[in-house]
Amino acid sequence: MTKWYSAVLLTAALVGIGNAGAADIDPAANPLLADQGRSRPLVIVTPDNERPDYQRMRGIVETSRGAFSDRDMVLYTVEAGAGRKEGQPLTDAETRALLAALGTSADGPLTTVLVGKDGGKKVEQQGFVDPRQVYDTIDNMALRRAESR
């Protein structure tokens, strides 16, 4: 009986520890809130910034910065848990809130999320995503077509 009771207590403690991190997330720290109505965030999350697919994506974004800014986009990256917005570091709280809002993890697979000006997810894909495909997706959005007129 005491072994069973000890196992239950240990399990409860581990579950409590696992949930403690979730309780520490402040949704108000989410940096995407400041972009709502103004820009289209592209968020790229990778556990390792040396991954070839990630490097290739970053290279395409950098060489197509004009197309990026023409679409009112801002780039967020989370590399090995460290968040950045347009190259500027995010705080740990902002990074945690960003990941929580997107429902993704810093240690998961390479993940790309396009967030619309309305704050909703428009595209979420794992693995390599050609940013030019993201531009095409934006160009086909009703709001973007209205902006282009």
CA distance 113 to 41: 8
* CATH architecture group of domain 29-148: 3-Layer(aba) Sandwich (3.40)
CA distance 112 to 127: 8
pLDDT one digit per residue (tens) for the chain, 149 residues: 444 433 333 333 334 434 444 558 898 999 999 999 999 999 999 999 999 999 999 999 999 999 989 999 999 999 999 999 999 999 999 999 999 999 999 999 999 999 999 999 999 999 999 998 999 999 998 766 666 66
Give CA separation, 2 vs 8, 9, 15, 144, in Å: 10, 10, 20, 64
